[in-house]
Structure 1
Amino acid sequence: MIDNMFNISEIIAGFFTKSNTEEERARLKEWLDQSDDHLKLFANLSDYQKFEEWEALHANFEKKADWRGIHKAITGRAPIKKVYKTLAKIAAVLLIPLFLGIWIHKSNNDILLNNTVVVPKGVQHCLTLSDGSRVWLNTGTKFTYPRKFNSKKREVLLDGEAYFEVTPGLKSAFVVKAGEMDVVVVGTEFNVRAYREDKEFRITLNDGKVKVRSQNEEVILNKNQQASLTPDNELVIDRNIDASIYSAWRNHSLSYKDQTLKTITEDLERYYNVKFKFEKPELSHIRFSINVQRFNDVYKLLDLLKETGKIDYTIKRETIIIKENRPK
């Protein structure tokens, strides 16, 4: 068991240094799927922006070297002073996130214990809530939910993108609070996109019926309809869409219909943990329609886009530069 733990730790270290093989990436995914606790630990370790106080610690923490050091300590092949120094580092990195992932809220003398899951870039996760509802969390998403819903309400918080299959037949409505919008449902399937940094809030209904509330208005959505929130807090309704396109990500597909390259690259940054830059601003407005399974690396997709003749790309200091396709 100990050897397996250290093996996983080296694979996690390889994720951060982008040095894992395809087999190691598969093992990491299998380990993450085994337990929500695994995902919470991994997410908190990799969520540098949300937990800035870790930056100095992570900057000095040589993951692979330290794990090898602790392994030597356990097997008796390291000096005792080094044992304590290594143990202190490991404890600081591993124990802190276990507490950061959980917070307690007191209301009306009741204690409501909530879990917060932060899904890192390049990772997706599926979980089942206490009422039986299932939630798929897309990459780069923060999701807060009660360990157990009470009889009065079922309420969750979302910053990112998620697909919901809500258990029907319960007395309390299911409420998703996403930025400036609330989605109120009884039993249905829908996709919510609400990445705070993108300032984009969108609800797409796959089945059933939902109520969408903003600060200024309230609308009802039916199957294959979509509501988007403008910067002025107005709800814009599209009543004739193919909802499956907007939730294809949960099946590890890249599906876009006449979508701008800016929107596509924003998703790719999250999926592959890369950075994009446009040589000219107008290139970000070029539109593509795509429907493919997600590749293991982003460059296979970029090569497909390049074959259309609309763009070219180059790589400079770990940033992908989108540029004009200049005939040779």
Structure 2
Amino acid sequence: MEEEYIYNLLKKFVTNSLSDAEFLVFKEIIGNPAYAPVIDRLMDNEWETLQSGIDFSKLQSEILYQKITADQRYKPSNKDKPTYFNTITTKLLWAACLCITLTSVIWMVSYYQKPVSAAYILYKAPLGQRISRSLPDGSKVWLNAGSTVRINKNFSRKIREVYLQGEAFFDVVHEEDRPFLIHTGEITTQVLGTAFNVSAYPQKEISIVVSRGLVGVKDEHRLLGLVKPDQQLKYDRRTKTSSSVHIDARLYTSWIHNELQLNNVSMEEAAETLSRWYNVKILFKDETLKNSMFTASFPNDAPLKQVLNIISKINRFDYKLSADTLSIYRSGAAK
């Protein structure tokens, strides 16, 4: 699926039919060395098909030649330097196209980094609650407890941008000419039309899980990867590194169906989830309990005490619930 997607972008690039959203993804892919083998393979295997769409005039060839020779990666030796670009091999011309002219890159960066208006629409899910909302373009967003989504009032115009803190599930309406971008701190997730989950609570790693479609994820400098259905991309804020794994997306999106899913989590991670889910402060009286791993699931309307009774048996701890504070002890320890 990933290689087919890149190939389709290549074909559209050759015929100058990339939408703004596709061009953003394409620019990130060809700027990422990790995708170089795929692009090279496609060029080698599908070149006869791709080259039919290229038609450069003598003037265009000379302009491209001047820009390419400024880049050491494509600079030929003096004895091989031709008068016009049309004497360079066709594949090198294609490689030049894949680099995208400097003018195009500067234009795209300046266009998509215009100052954002101060007029926003804010959606917020309080602690202990989960909400769903329809965005102006018809896309739907589900917000988990303690999460906020902010959009510009001009959201429905040229570009659709969302600023997320916390966790949200998006079901995005497909619109080729209007990119849909989700900003979570230093990470940006771009989609054309898909359904996926983004978790980006403060001080936690960022997680992107795709249920349907394909999304591209990038940081401030590079494309981190293309995420397909039943894949999860995780980004470590501290080390600024990412990793991808195959998962069952349903386990990460069950909360939108009012199911509390604790899938292979530590007690520390579970406490953070329970704190938001039930709007309660949780204190560990024994730090070693934080490392206990377990899996459990509960319906949305399960009382906190019922959840605690089950988890405490699994992880062998006692607890004391007083007003909005939950204290967790090692079993048998004095309270």
Q: TM-score, normalised by structure 1?
A: 0.62
1:129 is matched with 135
Distance in structure 2 (CA, Å) of the matches to 1:215 and 1:268: 32
1:203 is matched with 208
Shift of 1:311: 2.0
Max Rg structure: 2
Q: TM-score, normalised by structure 2?
A: 0.61
Q: 1:109 to 1:191 in 2, by over 3 A?
A: closer
Residue number among 258, 262, 272 corresponding to 1:256 in the alignment: 262
Q: 1:213 to 1:109 in 2, by over 3 A?
A: closer
1:215 matched to 2:211: no
Give CA-to-partner distance per residue, 1:235-292, whole Å, 9 cap, x none. 4223311111111111111112211111111011111111111111110110110122
**Larger relative contact order (CA 8 Å, sep ≥ 6):** 2
- 2:246 aligns to what SS in structure 1? coil
8 Å Cα contact 1:217-1:235 kept in structure 2: no
Q: 1:179 to 1:110 in 2, by over 3 A?
A: closer
Distance in structure 1 (CA, Å) of the matches to 2:218 and 2:230: 18
Distance in structure 1 (CA, Å) of the matches to 2:116 and 2:228: 36
1:164 is matched with 170
> Aligned residue pairs: how many?
220
Distance in structure 2 (CA, Å) of the matches to 1:109 and 1:236: 28
Provide the alpha-carbon RMSD of the alignment.
Answer: 2.4
Shift of 1:161: 0.7
8 Å Cα contact 2:206-2:237 kept in structure 1: no
Give CA-to-partner distance per residue, 1:148-202, whole Å, 9 cap, x none. 5344211011111100000013311100001111000000111011112x33311
- 1:326 aligns to what SS in structure 2? coil
Q: Which residues of 2 match residues 146-185 of structure 1 at below 5 A?
A: 146-185=152-191
- 1:239 aligns to what SS in structure 2? strand
Q: Which ranges in structure 1 are unaligned for 5 or more consecutive residues?
A: 1-106
Q: 1:161 to 1:294 in 2, by over 3 A?
A: same
- The share of aligned pairs that are identical, in percent, is 28
Distance in structure 2 (CA, Å) of the matches to 1:319 and 1:112: 38
- 2:308 aligns to what SS in structure 1? helix
2:253 is matched with 247
Matched residue type, 2:209: T
8 Å Cα contact 1:139-1:270 kept in structure 2: yes
Distance in structure 2 (CA, Å) of the matches to 1:116 and 1:318: 27
- 1:142 aligns to what SS in structure 2? strand
8 Å Cα contact 2:210-2:230 kept in structure 1: yes
1:290 is matched with 296
Distance in structure 2 (CA, Å) of the matches to 1:110 and 1:217: 22
Shift of 1:305: 1.2
Residue number among 135, 144, 147 corresponding to 1:141 in the alignment: 147
Distance in structure 2 (CA, Å) of the matches to 1:225 and 1:194: 17
Distance in structure 2 (CA, Å) of the matches to 1:130 and 1:295: 31
Give CA-to-partner distance per residue, 1:305-328, whole Å, 9 cap, x none. 12335222123574211122239x
- 1:237 aligns to what SS in structure 2? strand
Q: 1:109 to 1:248 in 2, by over 3 A?
A: closer
Shift of 1:145: 1.4
8 Å Cα contact 1:129-1:147 kept in structure 2: no
